[in-house]
Structure 1
Amino acid sequence: MDLSEQSERMQSFYGLKYDPFGALVDAMVFSGAGGRYEIAETIRHLLTYSPQDGLVIGPAGSGKRMLIQHVVKMLEDHWRIAWIDGSEIETHDEFLREIVGQLGLGLKVESDVELMTQQINQIVASRTEAGEAFLLVVQFADHLPEPILALAHQFRPSASLDHRLHQLWLIESEAAAAELHEDDWFNYPLLPLTDEDATLYLKDRLVAAGNVGDLPFAAKDISRLNQMSQGSLLSLNELARDYLIGSTFRTAEKTKGFPLTHVIAGVAALTIVTIALLYNLNENKDQVDTVEVPVSSAPLSNVQQKLADAAAKIDAKSQQTSPTQAPSTTDAEKAPGESEPEPSLNETSPQSDSTAPATEEVPDQPVQAQASEVAVVAESSVPMSKPTLLDRAEDAQFTMQLVGVRDRSKLDSVTKEFSAPEKVDIVETTYQGKPWFVLIYGQFNSKAEAEKALTELPKRFEGESPWIRSFRDVRETAVN
């Protein structure tokens, strides 16, 4: 029986419409396990608003291609996308021909590489100004020859970063990422799945395949499969399929009938054993009440002796102090000779008269009174900071995240473009251990309300789709 027949038998046994780990389900479902939903949304957002390009880093089988395919589905219709396999590109002509053809730039590929690069950048800038956007996805980018990598960098013209060919590279080696300047590239590492991630991932695949019942994996089996796959999505797919196929055949073998003679023999043996146990139980019933348990005379071990001594001390202490004779907490905790603490003037007794004059003196505490007055004066002289948008909003409310940058000063000029500054805030977060500043706008009770307010944004954000997030989500990522 080949793999396809085994897979069909497994689908029939579990009531599935499709192979949960086949190509058809690949196209149907994108699992957010391992934070991949958040990474996909971040990539989509930064492609629109950030001057940086993206590096998706992860070993073979970690799900880089599926992640970017999901990002592409999230992009709007005005995006033009070229997808190139870096392992199949060997010459400049091949690289440029793929870009020109897939993006529909209408250029004739010439042998002059520098001239072709300039023409591509000019057309992309012109059509971006007219409302289009362009993206180059390079799978196996770390397999590209060095001259082709150098050519790819020329599609980042410093004079028009907002009207350029955006790039997403999928790479397996972190060494390749280390050679790129982080101000130009934003890294998205795909970490191995945890056992919890693996559970969610398998559930997503099986639901897409038609499973409506419980997950056909025990928790310990998922942990073992994930450990064997080392957190790789591709390896987990293969191992999980083998597990379900094996379970199908094992269950089928268990359900086969036993010969009748074996069943009769088994019942007879069980009957004999049961009668013998009952006979012994009745014979010894009267001896149970009279049996004495001998006290062991073996010496106690060190651990047993320490436990016995501790129990004796606790028992002796409980006999010395009864509940009615227990000393008060105040007297027991007070050190010998320690005086009662003096009350602070800043604390108000519940019985104090709120109408008492503010200049009333406390004869016994002149030093404390002076200190209190100084504290009041100092406190009143400190200006109160104005609550920010993040301070005022409730967790359940929503805001628009408009742009994120490494350098906060780059957002200062942007904030001046808003007619209502109180609706704008800059929130500091971190990414890969370094500061990351995001610009948020508005305080809305629902996502629908936020979408209606898109017309309030400055002209530079016209036609864009900001990331609408809850304030709870923003606070969880903010630096306190």
Structure 2
Amino acid sequence: MSKGFDEVFTAVSGADDLLDHYQFTHDPFAPRTPGFRFFTPKRKSVLAELHHLARYGDQVLAVTGPQGSGKTLLRQALVASSNKDSIQCVVLSAREMPAESALLAGLCQAVSAEQRDVASLLCKAQQSETVGIQLYLVIDDAECLESSAVSMLSEIAEAGPAAPRVFLFADTEAEAALSVIRKSDDAPAVHMIGLQPLDVAETREYMAQRLEGAGQGIELLDDAQVEWVHQRSGGWPGAINHAARQTLLAAMQEAPVAVRRAGGSPFSVKALAALVLIAAGIGVAWYMGDQPQEPERTVLQLPAPVVEAQSQAPVSAPLPGESVSAASDTRSVDAVDEPTVDTVPTLVDAQASSVPESAPAQIETPALDTEPDSAPALTAPAPAPAPAPAPAPAPAPEPAVETVETERREVAQPAAPRQASGYHDASWYRKRPGSEYVVQLLGSRSEAAARAFIARHAGVSDLGYFETTHQGEPWFVVTQGAYVSRQAAQAGVAKLPAALRDSKPWPRGMADIQSALR
């Protein structure tokens, strides 16, 4: 019991891994896929033969093949291809009613016969014939039928032109039991049609149709893998499903460790992401806690030297019109030189702890150049007009602060492009033509894992990643390149490093990506 549960659990988890890794919409190799229809020329010829023999013969028609050979699919096609206006199909499973009495009761009930016997069934078939409706009795899993039940069906089939047509779908081991049943004239009562396995080309076409139905293509499997699947399965559809799933799982297991870890352990990735967020929050809180002191030092102390420098501009203008001697300038320099030297070091000390090395140079130079030359213009004339120009340049500190802040922004701006360089973001995908293709390398629920993958393969050109959703959760996809066609993208796969080629990357349309972007 526990072993069976483990097998089922392993199969389910393997299917989930396939969906996550290859981004399938459903398991492409499930035994019963809704809406899937695959018919090779061999199968189409069998279907045409069944319709022909049902119209012109009176034998029981038996389709045989091993388990997983496609009998159920052919039975469904027989019913679906029958004309509903002229044919009534009754489908039963011999697993539920293998005995003669149970089978006859089920058939009579299905056609609403008055009694549960052969005569009532034939009477109902005759009534249907008069209104132009032929009755088809289709029995699946016919290898479970008892010999008496098969003999009864043979008698029903040869009861005349209005008799129902009988179809049996059975495993290969039922051929011996069916071949010994004879009609009243000692002719074989059962016409057997054996299904043939698919060849390599048909196997490839079968898997391609399965993969395309799940949202991908045959590009996921190379020629060697297709050949291995065909040899392992013998060309029978059921065995092809099993072998193809094994091949995809093996390719997924052989992918790089980073790729497997990104998609296979959602709980550990979430825990890691939580730790990263906590650490980032602590770092931001620590940084923000110390930051308020910085503007207090820079903004409050910078205006003092700049006001003195800017205040000289309106006063220095009349100097060419006046005949002020150079001697008075030198005397003023001697008088002002000492306080200027005392003031400038104070400014430099205040800036050295908070402003980058380039900022003090730009602030200190005008203070030393302008103060000695312009200060005499304030002291040489009468002391009374000196206070008048002093309030005028009061707004000057604002440009000074702006220049310092501008310098800081110019210093800080190069950091942003360095973070974004090296890979494409979502805006790049939105701007690309929808006819292009990219090579998808990785899909992960963790954005950190996607970025780590890009950093690990920094030598590969034209990498990018975008965010979408998969099964209702965030999904981060890493791609490479931008190609004009699917064939060009497949050629690009061959040029990737061996470690990336082993992870089975595959081409994906840009239009599909643009529709999936969050």
TM-score by length of 1: 0.48
More helix as a share of residues: 2
TM-score by length of 2: 0.44
Bigger relative contact order, structure 1 or 2, given CA contacts below 8 A and separation 6+?
A: 1
Structure whose alpha-carbon radius of gyration is higher: 2
